[in-house]
Amino acid sequence: MKSSKKWVLTFMTLMILVLVFICTVNYVVDPYGYFRFQGGNYFELNDDYYTRVLKAERIKNYADEYDAYIIGGSKASGIRADKLSEIDGYRYYNSYIQSGNFEEYEKYINYIFENDKDVKKIFLHLSSIEVKAYSRQHLGDTYKTPAQVDGRSKAAEVLRMLFKNLKVSVQEIKKAAEHKTNPVAYPELPSGERNLGKYYDAVKIDKEWFKERYVMKDYDKSIKELFEGKREQSDNMQLCLDTLRRIKAACDERGVELFVVFGPSFITEMAVFDGPQFWNYYGEVVNIVGDVWDFSDYNDIMLNPYNFYNNLHFFYDVGEVMLGTIENNSRQYKGDADSPFGTFGYHVYADAAECAADTSGLAVTVPEYIKHRQECYNILKNEYMSTGTIALRSYEDKSNVVSGSRYFTSPELKAREGTSDDTEHIYEQTKNNYKDK
């Protein structure tokens, strides 16, 4: 009997030690950045980690430093908070999340209202791809809404992080060993934006290699899908619209301005959502909020691959042209007057009388905008059907707003030790795949 009790005690002791070991490794290595993000004052990790927690902690602990918040998916990470502040004087925090979705937009906005009683404005950036999926919780651990935002137990979340499979922590240890330093060369910016330094550095190394490797990914397949495929997303669209109505009502109830902007997508991403069904959805969005600023139509900017750092996201410079257009209520990019693609930016109104009162030259009603968008789509479709492709804008074209960017030499975007060795390594390993294209 004594031997049996001793065995049980030994077994229990070993189990406790194993559990303590797992918790200790996961806490010290912190592969998701979860524990380092507590308190909201840690920016030494990039958005491969659980930045949703950082956003939530920042809102909770630093609300007195902000008057307004940028809400959106990862495209919104290209909008500089300081540039928005120049427009209206509000202090902004960019609380973008990866793979943005209306489910979490609503949750984060409500979380802001709970923690910041003096918030003045919500800048809601829509990338249009939200209609692909109403929720993104299924994508992985770092895409799940944090417990404090979702109304779940924070203690239970902490325990789940402590007892995660050690495989992730082991991979993180190997990564750190290979790099000899913290693997994050370009840490997140304190104002919430994604640090795009590595992409500007890569363009400086070889702009054509960069374009072919990152921006032109699946170009032919996507163009074919855009003009020949069918997209059925009506269920998601209805969920998005219902949520937007609740967001609008919540903002109105608190006297908070809801400012909605549709940002640009590179033409390949349009295949995910664009078409008659989306145009109807778009009209409903404008009707709900009253007016939106739109940069998501077919235009020179979105037809120039050098304005994007991959096939999904635009550079800071594009975001600044957008904000400059809004601030001055006038065209900042002026393309060929005779081209249907020469205008970047419209102020779209639900009410015809309000539209008529706006004499900026950028004001259009919803029917006018949708008609123009459909016409441009058909022009490109005809080009595709007759040639098998779409002619894109060149690096030298004036529609390339990234050329000569101040961000190529911006001190705040620099890697810890200059240009990232990773970027140089990837270039040397892959450059020959693109030189002959």
DSSP sequence for 5-63: HHHHHHHHHHHHHHHHHHHHHHHHH-TTSTTTTTTS---SS-TTS-HHHHHHHHHHHHG
Q: Whole-structure pTM over 0.75, yes or no?
A: yes
pLDDT of residue 168: 85
How many folded domains does the chain comprise? 1
Q: Is residue 318 a part of any domain in this protein?
A: yes
Could you give the residue ranges of the DSSP H alpha helices within 63-196? 81-88, 102-115, 147-150, 154-162, 166-179
Query: How long, in residues, is the chain?
Result: 437
Distance between CA atoms of 391 and 382, rounded to whole angstroms?
12
Distance between CA atoms of 120 and 117, rounded to whole angstroms?
9
The pair of structure tokens assigned to 90 is 């509000």
pLDDT of residue 419: 63
Q: Which of 295, 27, 33 is nearest to 182 (CA)?
A: 33
The pair of structure tokens assigned to 268 is 């390949």
The pair of structure tokens assigned to 70 is 């940028």
Question: 399: Cβ–Cβ under 8 A, 6 or more apart, which residues?
Answer: 300, 301, 303, 304, 307, 333, 335, 393
The pair of structure tokens assigned to 399 is 């529609």
pLDDT of residue 119: 97
- CA torsion 294-295-300-304 (nearest 10°) is -160
**Radius of gyration, CA atoms only, the chain:** 24
pLDDT of residue 97: 95
Q: Is residue 436 a part of any domain in this protein?
A: yes
Q: What angle do CA 222, 76, 101 make, to 5 degrees?
A: 70
Distance between CA atoms of 176 and 179, rounded to whole angstroms?
5
Helix (H, G, I), strand (E, B) or coil at 390: coil
Q: What angle do CA 191, 264, 345 make, to 5 degrees?
A: 100
Q: Is residue 3 a part of any domain in this protein?
A: no
CB neighbour class for 388 (10 Å; exposed up to 12, middle 13-18, buried from 19): exposed
Q: Is residue 172 a part of any domain in this protein?
A: no
Q: Which of 288, 285, 282 is nearest to 372 (CA)?
A: 282
pLDDT of residue 110: 98
Distance between CA atoms of 390 and 267, rounded to whole angstroms?
10
Q: Which of 401, 421, 405 is nearest to 186 (CA)?
A: 421
Q: Is residue 71 a part of any domain in this protein?
A: no
**Residue written as token pair 């984060």:** 108
The pair of structure tokens assigned to 239 is 């969920």
**Could you give phi then psi for residue 259, rounded to 5 degrees?**
-110, 115
pLDDT of residue 124: 98
Distance between CA atoms of 201 and 376, rounded to whole angstroms?
34
pLDDT of residue 435: 67
- CA torsion 289-293-299-300 (nearest 10°) is -160
Distance between CA atoms of 192 and 343, rounded to whole angstroms?
30
Q: Is residue 107 a part of any domain in this protein?
A: no
**Could you give phi then psi for residue 114, rounded to 5 degrees?**
-70, -35
Question: 23: Cβ–Cβ under 8 A, 6 or more apart, which residues?
Answer: 162, 163
- Tally the C-alpha atoms within 13 A of residue 349's C-alpha that lie toward its C-beta: 15
Distance between CA atoms of 272 and 130, rounded to whole angstroms?
10
pLDDT of residue 2: 60
Distance between CA atoms of 373 and 128, rounded to whole angstroms?
14
**What is the domain range of residue 350?**
196-229+263-437
pLDDT of residue 418: 61
Question: 151: Cβ–Cβ under 8 A, 6 or more apart, which residues?
Answer: none
Distance between CA atoms of 77 and 143, rounded to whole angstroms?
16
Q: Is residue 122 a part of any domain in this protein?
A: no
Q: Is residue 429 a part of any domain in this protein?
A: yes
pLDDT profile of the chain (437 residues), mean per 10 = 70 82 89 92 83 95 97 96 96 96 98 97 96 89 94 93 88 72 72 93 93 93 90 84 98 98 95 91 97 97 97 96 96 91 96 96 96 96 96 96 94 74 81 73
Strands, E assignment, 100-236: 121-126
The pair of structure tokens assigned to 72 is 């959106």
